[in-house]
Chain A
């Protein structure tokens, strides 16, 4: 159903709604637009309007060694975190959907908690663990941090996918002689292809952006967000605008791709609801 009253003149209330929507979109995109604009601004940050368009900052960026090191680190961490989250998140979803065991309610809450808990708590608690265990902080500890926090993303997506799965298919497989292991790989996983790929993409992107948990678990090597953070502490350089614009471009591609993937056979609202639960990890 589109407008509440189809052909009657646009109800006055909805004119205000439209204005409000435009204003909110402007608010949401203002920093992004500024960022992109100023990455081409000759005078760097400050001054309005921007003039003297240049690609200098991008050139400086490409020559910047440490930044690219940190990009490489982030990529490694993201891939490793993806592996961990999926390896434990997929069985977790299966366990929640199919098994009964003591402490199941606690387990469910624990798994989903990092999604809504501010990252500082997750990061600090893991820091204390590593401290007690005597583990040195490094990219490995970051991987463990991201992997753990993002299990919830994998679990949420796969759980939703499981609920749509037709039990009868697995029953048919067992009936035809396949055992549980074979059924899992031949029937269950193929049906969960979309949720798993969606989760993988989401986890990868969230890990690349993650800063709160990483903040406490960092060793000698920086991830990209932390590298940027370090620079910001020392003062604003327009190079940051350039790298941010690039990050934005990549994120844009990733999210549109993820969204399209999700949309196959699902309503916007369902994807949105799951997305809500999935995204927390990246921002805090």
Chain B
């Protein structure tokens, strides 16, 4: 129905833009990762694998990567634990208030990330809201130090940020489940609890996978929360990259790490997509 001219006209401009501003940059990053930096802080276009070797050899890099993955994993698990029952409640028990509650869940997403992370800083600090409250009610005598500038603070803040992200696809998946399946399950003798595990949960798995993927990938690459709240023990891989592009000035190494992250993320996405397909039944 659409002429070749039409199809070319709609395809070409975005294709060109995306090639220049998305594809080429990734390719550049690929190239940079094989270059190195000279003593005088210029970039040498000499092709070598030094950066990758460094990544494997030097402890701090892969240790930080592992720590970042561990933090991201915890954030994912907590976000799912918080987000799934919430989504289930809204979808099956909230009735007429469903829409309103849904809006209430997504509103925090619109309060800038920075602002929310900063708010946690004021809450968790030794002179902050939580500590002064705990001392005020005499639950503690001294401020709790671990609350801020620790992995704990990073996990807490990122969970706060990404719980709505986990919630959204789970809610969408739950809403998609035809209600007559739930009725059929009851009709056949299953209690609401049995119905949940045998019918509702299996059918919501693609949503859970999508939510988990968002939470994990985005936490993994986060650098703001660690900078604000992580302290020295809460440094994540992106922070290392940021410094390599900043004060530590080693773009090629930074590019190498970024490329690894990119590949990691893309493989996770592909893996997650495959799993989602296996578990989708409509």
List chain A positions with a Cβ less than 8 A from chain B: 1-5, 11, 13-14, 17-18, 20-21, 24-25, 27-32, 34-35, 38, 45-49, 87-89, 91-92, 94-95, 98-99, 101, 107, 110-111, 113-114, 116-121, 124-129, 131-132, 144, 148, 151, 167, 170-171, 174, 180, 205, 209, 211-212, 215-216, 225, 228-229, 232, 236, 240-241, 244, 247-248, 251-252, 254-256, 259, 263, 267-270, 272-273, 275-276, 279-280, 282-284
With CB as the reference atom, state the residue of chain A lying closest to B171: A272
Judging by beta carbons under 8 Å apart, are A46 and B128 in contact?
yes
Judging by beta carbons under 8 Å apart, are A48 and B136 in contact?
yes
Other-chain contact of B114, A18, A47, A99, A211 (Cβ < 8 Å):
A211
Q: How far is the CA of A3 from the CA of B94 in the complex (A)?
A: 8
In the complex, how many angstroms separate the beta carbon of B258 from the nearest chain A beta carbon?
Answer: 5
Known: A118-B221, A129-B24, A272-B171. 16 other contacts (CB 8 A): A91-B9, A110-B22, A111-B18, A111-B22, A116-B269, A121-B261, A121-B265, A167-B1, A209-B110, A209-B112, A211-B224, A255-B106, A272-B172, A276-B172, A276-B214, A279-B109
List chain B positions with a Cβ less than 8 A from chain A: 1-3, 5-7, 9-11, 13-15, 17-18, 21-26, 28-29, 32, 82-83, 85-86, 88-90, 92-93, 95-96, 98-99, 101-116, 118-123, 125, 127-129, 132-133, 136, 160-165, 168-169, 171-172, 175-176, 179, 182-183, 186, 192-193, 195, 210, 213-214, 217-218, 220-224, 228, 238, 241-242, 245, 251, 254-255, 258, 261-262, 265, 269
**Which residues does chain A contribute within 8 Å of B32, judged by CB atoms?**
128
Judging by beta carbons under 8 Å apart, are A117 and B262 in contact?
yes
With CB as the reference atom, state the residue of chain B lying closest to A180: B6
Judging by beta carbons under 8 Å apart, are A268 and B175 in contact?
yes
Main DSSP-derived SS at the B contact region: helix
**Which residues does chain A contribute within 8 Å of B3, judged by CB atoms?**
180
Q: How far is the CA of A88 from the CA of B103 in the complex (A)?
A: 30
Number of A-B residue pairs, CB cutoff 8 Å, is 306
Q: How far is the CA of A47 from the CA of B128 in the complex (A)?
A: 6
Judging by beta carbons under 8 Å apart, are B258 and A244 in contact?
no
Q: Given A31-B160, A252-B107, A46–B125 Cβ distance below 8 Å?
A: yes
With CB as the reference atom, state the residue of chain B lying closest to A126: B25
Q: Given A1-B179, A118-B265, A34–B11 Cβ distance below 8 Å?
A: no
In the complex, how many angstroms separate the beta carbon of B92 from the nearest chain A beta carbon?
Answer: 6
Judging by beta carbons under 8 Å apart, are B110 and A99 in contact?
no
Judging by beta carbons under 8 Å apart, are B25 and A129 in contact?
yes
Judging by beta carbons under 8 Å apart, are A209 and B163 in contact?
no
